Amino acid sequence: MRRVLLKLSGEALAGDKKTGFDEDTVRRVALQVKQLLEDGIQIGIVTGGGNFWRGRTSEAIDRVKADQIGMLATVMNCIYVSEIFRSEGMKTAVLTPFECGCFTKLFSKDRADKYFEKGMVVFFAGGTGHPYFSTDTGVVLRAVEVSADVILLAKSIDGVYDSDPKINPAARKYDEISIDDVIAGNLQVVDMTASILARDNKMPMWVFGLNETDSIVNTMKGRFSGTKVTV
């Protein structure tokens, strides 16, 4: 693996608080990413925004405007996570698909490549830059654009199950499942738009639990206990 994209949901950044940031959680991620960088792996990060905003809260708010707020939430998240990474000695860049003045730099493939080659952690904030999409689609899109080898989906659940393990105690976790089966079974690894984009562009996704100790490093070092979504 030369280049990977790591997706952190907004909820994951909040830890047990469920909203805002949990510094200890983010620092644990930072220390793991640092180890991978030292092994020569290039890392891009996409965060969700759900710790601040989950789209429309009422009919009074236009969907497009609500989604813009969501995209801005992901920018806040990336700036925060990037700062924690910097405090651990890493170099970072935050790229957005829209101008945020001097807060971020505008995304382009060339710019991302340049930062990756310099050993920086590249944050892809602001999702796709368009309403009616999600950061799931954002991470697949960026992974395809920058030719990542795999997407690491660090979740609150430790893999892909055939039914919801919170509801069904007999739910079975897959070690491996094809993206076609994910789509056919509507298994919600990522949303449907993102699943189709991953299928059409042959982008594998590895799903694992963020809360397990050293799960990101273990995943990259072959000690994987989640689910591999194959393409």
What CA–CA distance (Å, rounded) separates 106 from 50? 23
Q: Residue 39: CB partners within 8 Å, gap ≥ 6?
A: 220
19 is in an annotated binding site: no
16 is in an annotated binding site: no
Which lies closer to ligand UDP via its Cβ, residue 73 or residue 189?
73
130 is in an annotated binding site: yes
C-beta of residue 44 within 8 angstroms of C-beta of residue 5: yes
224 is in an annotated binding site: no
C-beta of residue 133 within 8 angstroms of C-beta of residue 123: no
Q: Residue 92: CB partners within 8 Å, gap ≥ 6?
A: 82, 85, 86, 120, 121, 122, 123
C-beta of residue 138 within 8 angstroms of C-beta of residue 190: no
Which lies closer to ligand UDP via its Cβ, residue 65 or residue 91?
65
Q: Residue 170: CB partners within 8 Å, gap ≥ 6?
A: none
Among the candidate windows 65-73, 100-108, 109-117, 168-176, which touches ligand UDP by CB under 6 A?
65-73
55 is an interface residue for ligand UDP by CB under 6 A: yes
Read off the amino acid at residue 185.
Answer: G
What CA–CA distance (Å, rounded) separates 118 from 115? 5
Site string for ligand UDP, 117-156 (x = CB under 6 A): ----------xx-xx-xxxxxx------------------
Which pair of tokens denotes residue 69?
């707020």
Among the candidate windows 37-45, 63-71, 114-122, 195-203, which touches ligand UDP by CB under 6 A?
63-71
- Answer for which of 3, 6, 10, 228 binds ligand UDP (CB under 6 A) is 10
Which lies closer to ligand UDP via its Cβ, residue 37 or residue 134?
134
54 is an interface residue for ligand UDP by CB under 6 A: yes
Binding-site annotation, residues: 7-10, 49-50, 54, 67, 128-135, 161, 164
**Residue numbers of the site for ligand UDP (CB under 6 A)?**
9-11, 48-50, 54-55, 66-67, 70-71, 73, 127-128, 130-131, 133-138
